[in-house]
């Protein structure tokens, strides 16, 4: 059984023509008379054949179904399959989920952004981050380019932690102040790790259309190096200055 055309269309559409790992465009533009290259590959999270990366027996319909596919560039596809202990099934599913949220926020949320953009503030602790995460339905995430593997892993780990706390934020708040404090401590610890590695986080929140007629709050996070903060500063009404203005 091969991947169905409908499944293939859903994968490309929800991935926004971007690699789920590096987010580079997968259909390159034409250059004069030279046609653009197609560098995207529909990769199986659980391998199709015995001996393949992360293989386990699956029914053909499940094996070639949407949930078992992730859209990658050729380079990341090679790396993902060469390092199955690093790119586990759970990790790849988390990468895919987070990437699709990023695409949805970017493509469907444009009309919901005010003319002044989303005001981003410097996130220094869990006390700063928790109000952005609690109850959010989507994500818009940015990070520096040309990251080392170690730095990329740290940022991926951080964003996964933030996503996990967001997903259970309603349950955490229902359990009371102590549970919220524990969540904030966890977030502060991760932010401190990022700071020790030379990164800071800017964050904001806005309302956005998330598809299928659903509108809700979207978290906007931008990971930057401290030296990049000045370039992101903008003037806001009243003469104050904010760390960043994300659109």
List, in sequence order, the alpha helices (H) in 33-113. 60-63, 74-82, 89-108
pTM for the structure as a whole:
0.49
The sign of the CA dihedral 97, 99, 100, 102 is: positive
Average pLDDT over residues 81-85: 94
C-beta separation of 43 from 80 below 8 A: yes
The lowest-confidence range among 4-8, 47-51, 168-172, 232-236 is 232-236
CB 222 within 8 A of CB 201: yes
Contact 64, 3 (CB under 8 A): yes
CB 187 within 8 A of CB 162: yes
**% of the chain with per-residue pLDDT over 90:** 36
Torsion sign (Cα): 181, 219, 226, 97: positive
For 149, list phi and psi in degrees, rounded to 5. Answer: -60, -40
What was the pLDDT predicted at 225?
83
Domain map (residue ranges) of the chain: 1-87, 109-247
């Amino acid at each position: 059984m091969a991947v169905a055309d409908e499944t293939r269309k859903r994968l490309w559409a929800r991935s926004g023509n971007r690699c789920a790992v590096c987010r580079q465009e997968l259909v390159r533009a034409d250059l004069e008379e030279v046609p653009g290259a197609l560098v995207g590959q529909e990769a199986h999270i659980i391998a199709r054949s015995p001996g393949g990366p992360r293989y386990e027996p699956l029914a053909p319909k499940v094996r070639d179904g949407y949930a078992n596919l992730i859209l990658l560039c050729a380079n990341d596809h090679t790396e993902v399959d060469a390092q199955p202990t690093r790119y586990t099934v759970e990790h790849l599913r988390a990468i895919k989920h987070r990437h699709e949220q990023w695409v949805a926020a970017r493509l469907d949320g444009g009309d919901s952004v005010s003319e002044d953009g989303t005001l981003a503030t410097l996130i220094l602790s869990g006390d700063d981050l928790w109000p952005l995460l609690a109850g959010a339905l989507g994500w818009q995430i940015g990070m520096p380019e040309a990251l080392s593997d170690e730095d990329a892993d740290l940022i991926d780990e951080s964003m996964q932690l933030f996503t996990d706390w967001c997903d259970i934020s309603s349950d955490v708040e229902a359990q009371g102040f102590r549970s919220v404090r524990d969540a904030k401590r966890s977030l502060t610890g991760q932010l401190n790790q990022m700071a020790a590695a030379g990164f800071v986080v800017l964050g904001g929140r806005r309302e956005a259309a998330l598809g299928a007629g659903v509108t809700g709050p979207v978290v906007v996070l931008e990971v930057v190096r401290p030296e990049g903060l000045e370039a992101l500063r903008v003037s806001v009404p009243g003469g104050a200055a904010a760390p960043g203005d994300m659109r």
